[in-house]
């Protein structure tokens, strides 16, 4: 039952933390060519979530936005506890790995196995 509770809460938070919309409202939209200052992305998402975020990138130059981690503390149990936005990065510090300017690439559609 704990696994079901975990995924239910994770899904709830995923729907609540709409990264795409938060970035769009700040004028940061997916683009194949545009590069955005990492600081703008981080500050936008931290204002949006009310807490700290860690941004991870991929690519040889670590300049392709790949992942956003929203940091929370849980007060109480996972099932009924309150998720409180973290105001610091903890004792491990920032686990980000991105270049100072990053690309926020559009999602690519994969070809269907039916050949469409």
Token pair listed for 75? 């007060």
The residue extents of the domains of the chain are 2-103
Among residues 50, 5, 42, the alpha carbon closest in space to that of 23 is found at 42
pTM here is 0.82
Strand, helix or coil for residue 12: helix
pLDDT above 70: residue 115: no
Q: Which CATH number fits domain 2-103: 3.90.730.10, 3.30.70.980, 3.30.360.10, 3.40.50.10860?
A: 3.90.730.10
CB 96 within 8 A of CB 107: no
Cα-based distances in Å from 16 to 76, 92, 100: 20, 26, 27
Q: To 5 degrees, how large is the angle CA 87–CA 89–CA 93?
A: 160
> pLDDT confidence of 46, banded at 50, 70, 90?
very high
| DSSP codes joined into one string, 50-70 | SS-EEEEEETTTT-EEEEEEE
pLDDT above 90: percentage of residues in the chain: 56
Q: pLDDT, tens digit, for every residue of 66-104?
A: 999 998 888 988 778 888 999 988 776 678 899 999 999
pLDDT above 70: residue 113: no
pLDDT at residue 8, as a whole number: 87
CB 48 within 8 A of CB 33: no
Q: Which of 9-13, 23-27, 45-49, 93-97 has the lowest mean pLDDT?
A: 93-97
**Mean pLDDT, all residues of the chain:** 88
pLDDT above 60: residue 10: yes
């Amino acid at each position: 039952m704990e696994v079901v509770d975990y995924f239910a809460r994770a899904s709830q938070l995923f729907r609540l933390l709409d990264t795409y919309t938060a970035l769009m409202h700040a004028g940061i939209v997916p683009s194949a060519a545009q590069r955005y200052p990492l600081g703008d992305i981080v500050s936008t998402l931290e204002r949006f979530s009310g807490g700290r975020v860690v941004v991870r990138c991929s690519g040889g130059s670590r300049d392709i936005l790949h992942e956003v981690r929203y940091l929370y503390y849980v007060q109480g149990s996972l099932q009924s506890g309150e998720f409180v936005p973290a105001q610091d990065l903890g004792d491990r510090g920032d686990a980000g790995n991105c270049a100072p300017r990053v690309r926020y690439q559009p999602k690519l559609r994969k070809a269907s196995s039916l050949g469409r």
